[in-house]
Amino acid sequence: MQEYKEKLYEVYDKLISGDSIKRNQGCDEAITLINELDNEEAKNDIRRMTVQHLIDLGRFLEAKEFIARMISSEDFYYRMAGHIANITYCEKTDNSKLKEAILSSIECAEMSGDRIDIAISTFEYAKFLYISGLNDECIEKLSNVITIAQELNNVIIEQDAMYYTALALDKKGQKNMALELLRTVSDKAEEIRNQNTAMFSEIKRAKILNEMGRTEECLNIISQWCDNFETLK
């Protein structure tokens, strides 16, 4: 058991290294470790840890096998992880199957009753609706996601859902509402030091302001974020 844990830590360190060569080595070692194990739960733990890295590295055949194994698990935890990974897999390889993958993840989440999984899957469906130009349906789904996120005090999901709501409102021409919501997202993100979300929200605000002819406000936002980047150096 101790030897297994040491090998697992070595795999994990390589997967999160940020170096593509080490990440590929980590994936290879994960596959070897799976083949050495008899316990299916332990195998699925490694698959769950590794599958997104396989997708990111373009190792789609191996990722597909991992996903199939997890989705066929009797444990909802691994099954749900497989469905979420399958969404990313379809985004990278076959968009024609993306909607089916998302709806399957929602069905699995609802069967398990896990509200976080329901929120995540519904959020993925809302993004699909947004990309498809179905903005009203997108906003409706995101409203459900925001409600769940607020009830569970999950600020990350709440912010992501609010951000996409603003994008959909902008597409509908409701720019002032989009600006107001983006400002809320930015403020909430700043509170928890989520700089990426804050930055994307402010960049989108600047773009909308520029489209509305409110150039000075747009330039103020850009100037502020340039100052922020200088501070972070």
Q: What is the pLDDT of residues 56-103, one digit of tens each?
A: 999 999 999 999 999 999 999 999 999 999 999 999 999 899 999 999
Average pLDDT, the chain: 93
Give the Å distances, CA to CA, from 66 to 50, 82, 84, 105, 213.
9, 8, 12, 16, 50
Banded model confidence at residue 233, pLDDT cuts 50, 70, 90: very low
| Lowest model confidence (mean pLDDT) among 1-5, 32-36, 192-196, 197-201 | 1-5
Task: Identify the structural domains of the chain with CATH numbers, from first to last.
Answer: 1-96 (1.25.40)
The model carries a pTM of 0.87
Q: What is the pLDDT of residue 172?
A: 97
Q: Residue 27: is its pLDDT beyond 80?
A: yes
- Residue 2 binned pLDDT confidence (cut-offs 50, 70, 90): low
pLDDT surpassing 70 at residue 227: no
